[in-house]
């Protein structure tokens, strides 16, 4: 079902202690956010266990930022979806542009990660988005269509119904340059139309699509007021509880 979600992607920031403090501060102020808005924090792997503990019973869910493409075995340095789920984590971010760009994640890898996530009963937050060069070349719709098709089109209707999508234009991530509300709405509506062709209008309409890219307390209200923008995946602004809560209060 379509939900409002605000998810904080902490990336490779905070020590475990700082992470727990941040999680506690978010949990303490969660009551200020409308109850129907899901509040999610995504700390580094090393903090997951403690952050789950710090947020338990507070209406704050926890996401991992990645998971392994394989289920178990000789994959040094990897962390499986099952390991993550066992900690009480509910979501996993997959296909973030930083993973695609710096770690060479391809559609094939992401298909396997999606499979592992579903097997472990984690809800995937699948990220798509075009680069600046792609937007300037006006190929952004094609790029995003391909990212949607090559990973989401092979899902069953049931699994698709559990998937969250995040549209994150790469040129807006960590740059302070946000997509305008009109640009976000245009792409979200486009993604929904692509999804409708495969899964039907009703299922596409029910899908939660988040915007990500320099969302902050100053621009979140306008972004979230767009009919096809169901919330945000927030990077920089999620590292301060006040800003993150202010974003989550922007519906
Ligand atoms: C992100 O990395 O998911 C993100 C949206 O980052 P920022 O808000 O810092 O642009």
List phi, psi (to 5°) of 210.
-95, 155
Alpha-carbon gap, residue 172 to 35, rounded angstroms:
29
> Given a cut of 90, is residue 174 above it in pLDDT?
no
**The token pair that represents 22 in the structure block:** 């941040």
* pLDDT number for residue 8: 98
What are 3-44's pLDDT values in tens digits?
Answer: 999 999 999 999 999 999 999 999 999 999 999 999 999 999
Give the number of residues written for the chain: 251
Alpha-carbon gap, residue 107 to 97, rounded angstroms:
12
* pLDDT number for residue 176: 85
* pLDDT number for residue 140: 98
> Within 10 A of 240 (CB to CB), how many other CB atoms are there?
16
* pLDDT number for residue 46: 98
* Ligand 1 atom closest to the CA of 215, numbered from 1: 8
**The token pair that represents 160 in the structure block:** 């698709």
> Given a cut of 90, is residue 142 above it in pLDDT?
yes
**108 to each of 64, 72, 93, 102, 115, how far by Cα in Å?**
20, 18, 16, 16, 11
Give the residue carrying structure tokens 């993604």. Answer: 191
* pLDDT number for residue 205: 98
* pLDDT number for residue 221: 98
Q: Distance from the CA of 160 to the center of ligand 1, in angstroms?
A: 24
* pLDDT number for residue 48: 98
Give SS3 for 189.
helix
What are 177-213's pLDDT values in tens digits?
Answer: 889 999 999 999 999 999 999 999 999 999 999 999 9
Half-sphere exposure (CA, 13 Å, Cβ side) for 250?
26
* pLDDT number for residue 12: 98
Instruction: Provide the annotated active-site residues.
Output: 96, 168
- For the chain, the average pLDDT equals 97
What are 83-128's pLDDT values in tens digits?
Answer: 999 999 999 999 999 999 999 999 999 999 999 999 999 999 999 9
Residue with the smallest CA separation from ligand 1 atom 7 is 235
Mutating to test ligand 1, I would choose from 91, 214, 247, 248 the residue with most ligand atoms within 8 A of its C-beta, which is 214
């Amino acid at each position: 079902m379509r939900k409002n979600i605000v998810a904080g992607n902490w990336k490779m920031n905070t020590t475990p202690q700082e992470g727990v403090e941040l999680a506690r501060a978010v949990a303490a102020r969660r009551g200020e956010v409308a109850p129907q808005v899901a509040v999610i924090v995504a700390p580094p792997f090393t903090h997951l266990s403690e952050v789950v503990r710090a947020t338990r019973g507070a209406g704050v869910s926890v996401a991992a930022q990645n998971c392994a493409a394989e289920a178990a075995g000789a994959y040094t340095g990897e962390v499986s979806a099952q390991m993550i789920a066992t900690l009480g984590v509910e979501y996993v971010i997959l296909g973030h542009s930083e993973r695609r760009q710096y770690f060479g994640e391809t559609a094939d890898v992401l298909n396997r990660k999606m499979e592992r996530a579903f097997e472990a009963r984690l809800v995937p937050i699948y990220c798509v988005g075009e680069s600046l060069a792609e937007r300037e070349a006006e190929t952004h719709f094609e790029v995003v269509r391909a990212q949607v098709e090559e990973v989401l089109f092979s899902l069953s209707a049931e699994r698709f119904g559990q998937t969250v999508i995040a549209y994150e234009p790469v040129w807006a991530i960590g740059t302070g340059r946000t997509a305008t509300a009109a640009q976000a709405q245009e792409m979200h509506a486009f993604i929904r139309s692509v999804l409708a062709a495969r899964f039907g209008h009703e299922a596409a309409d029910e899908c939660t699509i988040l915007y990500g890219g320099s969302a902050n307390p100053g621009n979140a209200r306008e972004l979230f007021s767009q009919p096809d923008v169901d919330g945000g995946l927030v990077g920089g602004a999620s590292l301060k509880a006040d800003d993150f809560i202010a974003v989550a209060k922007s519906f």
